[in-house]
C-alpha cells in the first residue's frame, strides 16, 4: 500500500480499542485527517510523545479501502508543544482552536493557509504572545480563511463607508451603519475595527498598541464568537472554558 507522508499538526487524540489511539491531525497537503495509531497506548511505543496536541510532526500513513480512517505507521516529532500546555489557559485556547478546526474543515481537503495559521500561532505562543491576542488572531484569520468574515468597512445595506458606530447584521455577514441598523445588538465599535485592521497587517507575534485593554480584546472576541456560533449552529464546547 502506498504510504503518504506529510508535515502535520496534531489536533487531538482519543483512546481507541485496547491499545490504539484515534488521532485527529491537520496536514499541510490534505488538511483534516483522522487515523489510527496502532499500539500507541502501549508502554514505550514507537510514537513516544509525538502525538501530543499541537505537536508539529512528520506523519506517515496509508489509506485503507472502505474506511475514512487512515492507518498511521509512524510519526516523527519536529516541534513539541508540551511546554505550552503547562499553562492551563493556553491548553484551553488550543482546545478551542482544535475544536473549531475540526468542526469547520472539510475532510481531506488541503488548506495550506490554515496549516500556516496554526503553525504561526504555536510559534507566537512559544514566543510569549498574550493569550487574548492569540485567541483574537486565530478567530479573525479562521473566519477569513473560511470565507465567513464580514466586510467591516462598508455598510452592507447602503454601501457607504462606516465612520462611527456600526452593528452586526443579524445574519452575521456584514455590518450596518447607524441609519440602516434596526436590531442594535452586537455593536462594532471604531476601536474594534482598528484592532481588526491591525490584525490584518501584522503577524501573530507582533506587539499590539499597549492602550488596547483586555476588556476590549474580550469584547472583540464576543463579536467573532457570535459569528462562529451562528455558522456552527451551536456553541463550541471549548468556548465555555475561554475566559479571555
Ligand atoms: Zn447604511
- State which of 51, 83, 115 marks the end of a domain: 83
208 Cα–ligand 1 center, Å: 30
Statement to judge: residues 143 and 229 lie in one domain: yes
Statement to judge: residues 71 and 148 lie in one domain: no
Specify the 3-state DSSP secondary structure of 94: helix
Residue 96 domain-assigned?
no
104 Cα–ligand 1 center, Å: 31
Q: CA dist 22 to 6, 44, 60, 61, Å?
A: 18, 18, 15, 13
Gap between the Cα atoms of 37 and 26, Å rounded: 15
166 Cα–ligand 1 center, Å: 9
181 Cα–ligand 1 center, Å: 7
Gap between the Cα atoms of 80 and 26, Å rounded: 15
Residue 93 domain-assigned?
no
Gap between the Cα atoms of 178 and 161, Å rounded: 11
Specify the 3-state DSSP secondary structure of 35: strand
pLDDT digits (tens, 9 = 90+) for 194-234: 999 999 999 999 999 999 999 999 999 999 999 999 999 99
179 Cα–ligand 1 center, Å: 6
154 Cα–ligand 1 center, Å: 8
Gap between the Cα atoms of 145 and 32, Å rounded: 15
Residue 225 domain-assigned?
yes
DSSP state string for 43-87 = TT-TTTTTTSTT-EEEEEEE--TT-SSEEEEEEEEEE--GGGGGS
199 Cα–ligand 1 center, Å: 25
pLDDT digits (tens, 9 = 90+) for 133-166: 999 999 999 999 999 999 999 999 999 999 888 9
Statement to judge: residues 73 and 148 lie in one domain: no
Statement to judge: residues 42 and 144 lie in one domain: no
pLDDT(2) > 80: no
pLDDT digits (tens, 9 = 90+) for 38-88: 999 999 899 988 999 999 999 999 998 888 999 999 999 999 998 999 999
Statement to judge: residues 147 and 228 lie in one domain: yes
Gap between the Cα atoms of 104 and 225, Å rounded: 14
Q: What is the 3-state secondary structure (H, E, C) of 169-236?
A: CCCCCCEEECCCCCCCCCEECHHHHHHHHHHHHCCCCCCCCCCCCHHHHHHHHHHHHHHHHHHHCCCC
Q: What domain range is 25 assigned to?
A: 4-83
Residue 41 domain-assigned?
yes
Degrees (nearest 5) of the Cα angle 35, 38, 43?
A: 130
145 Cα–ligand 1 center, Å: 26
Statement to judge: residues 145 and 63 lie in one domain: no
Residue 224 domain-assigned?
yes
- Cell numbers given for 62: 496509508
191 Cα–ligand 1 center, Å: 19
Residue 144 domain-assigned?
yes
For the chain, the average pLDDT equals 94
Statement to judge: residues 142 and 236 lie in one domain: yes
Residue 110 domain-assigned?
no
168 Cα–ligand 1 center, Å: 12
Residue 90 domain-assigned?
no
Statement to judge: residues 135 and 231 lie in one domain: yes
CATH of the domain at 60: 2.40.50.140
Statement to judge: residues 47 and 146 lie in one domain: no
139 Cα–ligand 1 center, Å: 26
Gap between the Cα atoms of 99 and 179, Å rounded: 38
192 Cα–ligand 1 center, Å: 18
Based on the structure, what is the number of domains in the chain?
A: 2
Amino acid at each position: 500500500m502506498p504510504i503518504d507522508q506529510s508535515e502535520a499538526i496534531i489536533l487531538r487524540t482519543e483512546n481507541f480499542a485496547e491499545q490504539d489511539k484515534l488521532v485527529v491531525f491537520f496536514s499541510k497537503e490534505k488538511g483534516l485527517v483522522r487515523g489510527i495509531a496502532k499500539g500507541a497506548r502501549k508502554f514505550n511505543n514507537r510514537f513516544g510523545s509525538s502525538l501530543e496536541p499541537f505537536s508539529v510532526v512528520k506523519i506517515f500513513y496509508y489509506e485503507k479501502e472502505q474506511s475514512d480512517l487512515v492507518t498511521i505507521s509512524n510519526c516523527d516529532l519536529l516541534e513539541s508543544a508540551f511546554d505550552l500546555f503547562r499553562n492551563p489557559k493556553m491548553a484551553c485556547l488550543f482546545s478551542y482552536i482544535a475544536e473549531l478546526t475540526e468542526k469547520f474543515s472539510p475532510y481531506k481537503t488541503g488548506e495550506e493557509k490554515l496549516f500556516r495559521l496554526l503553525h504561526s500561532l504555536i510559534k507566537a505562543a512559544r514566543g510569549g504572545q498574550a493569550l487574548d491576542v492569540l485567541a483574537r488572531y486565530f478567530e479573525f484569520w479562521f473566519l477569513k480563511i473560511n470565507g465567513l468574515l464580514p466586510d467591516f468597512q462598508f455598510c452592507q445595506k447602503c454601501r457607504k463607508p462606516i465612520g462611527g458606530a456600526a452593528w452586526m447584521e443579524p445574519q452575521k455577514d456584514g455590518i450596518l451603519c447607524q441609519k440602516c441598523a434596526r436590531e442594535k445588538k452586537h455593536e462594532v465599535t471604531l476601536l474594534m475595527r482598528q484592532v481588526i485592521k491591525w490584525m490584518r497587517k501584522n503577524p501573530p507575534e507582533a506587539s499590539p498598541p499597549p492602550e488596547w485593554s483586555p476588556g476590549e480584546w474580550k469584547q472583540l472576541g464576543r463579536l467573532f464568537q457570535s459569528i462562529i456560533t451562528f455558522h456552527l449552529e451551536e456553541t463550541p464546547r471549548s468556548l465555555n472554558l475561554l475566559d479571555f
